[in-house]
Structure 1
Amino acid sequence: MKLLVTGGAGFIGSNFIRYVLNKHKDWEVINLDKLGYGSNLENLKDIKKDERYIFVKGDINDFELVSRLIKEVDAVVNFAAESHVDRSISNPYAFVESNVLGVYTLLEAARKFNPEVRFVHISTDEVYGDIEKGSFTEEDRLMPSSPYSASKAAGDMLVLGYARTYNINASITRCTNNYGPYQFPEKLIPKTIIRASMGLKVPIYGTGENVRDWLYVLDHCEAIELVLEKGEKREIYNISAGEEKTNLEVVRTILKLMGKDEDLIEFVEDRPGHDVRYSLDSWKIMRDLKWRPKHSFKEGIKRTVEWYLSNEWWWKPLVNEKVLHPTPWKLKW
Structure 2
Amino acid sequence: MKLLVTGGAGFIGSAVVRLAVARGHQVVNLDALTYAANLANVAPVADSPLYAFQQADIRDRAALDAAFATHQPDIVLHLAAESHVDRSIDGPADFIDTNITGTFNMLEAARKYWQAAGRPDSFRFHHVSTDEVFGSLPADPSVQFTEATAYDPRSPYSASKAASDHLVRAWSETYGLPVVLSNCSNNYGPYHFPEKLIPVVILNALAGRALPIYGDGSNIRDWLYVEDHADALLLVATKGALGRSYNIGGENERTNLQLVHTICAILDRLRPRDTGAYADLITFVTDRPGHDARYAIDPTRIRAELGWRPSVTVEEGLERTVRWYLENEAWWRPLLGRQGVGQRLGRAAP
Scaled by the length of structure 2, what TM-score is found?
Answer: 0.92
1:6 alignment partner AA: T
- Please point out which of 202, 214, 234 is paired with 2:223: 214
Match of 1:290 in 2: 307
Match of 1:128 in 2: 134
Match of 2:162 in 1: 153
Match of 1:38 in 2: 36
What's the secondary structure of 2:290's corresponding residue? coil
Moved over 6 A (4+): none
Separation in structure 1 between the aligned mates of residue 208 and residue 345 of structure 2, nearest angstrom: 21
1:307 alignment partner AA: W
Q: In structure 1, list runs of 5 or more residues that go unmatched.
A: none
State whether structure 2 residue 78 is matched by structure 1 residue 78: yes
- Please point out which of 153, 166, 171 is paired with 2:175: 166
Q: In structure 2, list runs of 5 or more residues that go unmatched.
A: 269-276
Taking only aligned residues, the RMSD between alpha carbons, in angstroms, comes to 1.3
Match of 1:140 in 2: 149
Aligned partners of 2:129 and 2:183 also within 8 Å: yes
Name the stretch that deviates more: 285-294 or 254-263: 254-263
Deviation for aligned residue 1:52: 1.1
Separation in structure 2 between the aligned mates of residue 331 and residue 154 of structure 1, nearest angstrom: 22
Aligned partners of 2:86 and 2:345 also within 8 Å: no
- Please point out which of 186, 192, 214 is paired with 1:205: 214
Match of 1:67 in 2: 65
Aligned partners of 1:60 and 1:102 also within 8 Å: yes
State whether structure 2 residue 185 is matched by structure 1 residue 187: no
Separation in structure 2 between the aligned mates of residue 272 and residue 247 of structure 1, nearest angstrom: 16
Aligned partners of 2:85 and 2:346 also within 8 Å: no
Deviation for aligned residue 1:323: 4.2
Aligned partners of 2:213 and 2:257 also within 8 Å: yes
Match of 1:244 in 2: 253
Separation in structure 2 between the aligned mates of residue 330 and residue 264 of structure 1, nearest angstrom: 22
Separation in structure 2 between the aligned mates of residue 154 and residue 114 of structure 1, nearest angstrom: 23
List aligned pairs for 1:107-126, cutoff 5 A: 107-115=107-115, 116=119, 117-126=123-132
Deviation for aligned residue 1:184: 0.4
List aligned pairs for 1:73-112, cutoff 5 A: 73-112=73-112
Aligned partners of 2:205 and 2:278 also within 8 Å: no
What's the secondary structure of 1:114's corresponding residue? helix
Closer, same or farther in 2 for the Cα pair 1:90/1:261, shift >3 Å?
same
Residue-by-residue CA offset, 1:67-101 (whole Å, 9 max, x unaligned) = 12223111110010000000000111100101000
What's the secondary structure of 2:54's corresponding residue? strand
- Tell me the matched-pair count: 329
Aligned partners of 2:58 and 2:106 also within 8 Å: yes
Deviation for aligned residue 1:20: 1.0
2:175 alignment partner AA: Y
Separation in structure 2 between the aligned mates of residue 307 and residue 73 of structure 1, nearest angstrom: 33
Name the stretch that deviates more: 64-73 or 179-188: 64-73
* % identical equivalent positions: 48
1:267 alignment partner AA: F
Deviation for aligned residue 1:327: 2.3
State whether structure 2 residue 31 is matched by structure 1 residue 14: no
Aligned partners of 1:211 and 1:245 also within 8 Å: yes
Separation in structure 2 between the aligned mates of residue 208 and residue 323 of structure 1, nearest angstrom: 21
Deviation for aligned residue 1:177: 0.3
Residue-by-residue CA offset, 1:298-320 (whole Å, 9 max, x unaligned) = 11110000000100000000013
1:177 alignment partner AA: N
Aligned partners of 1:269 and 1:328 also within 8 Å: no
Aligned partners of 1:4 and 1:69 also within 8 Å: no
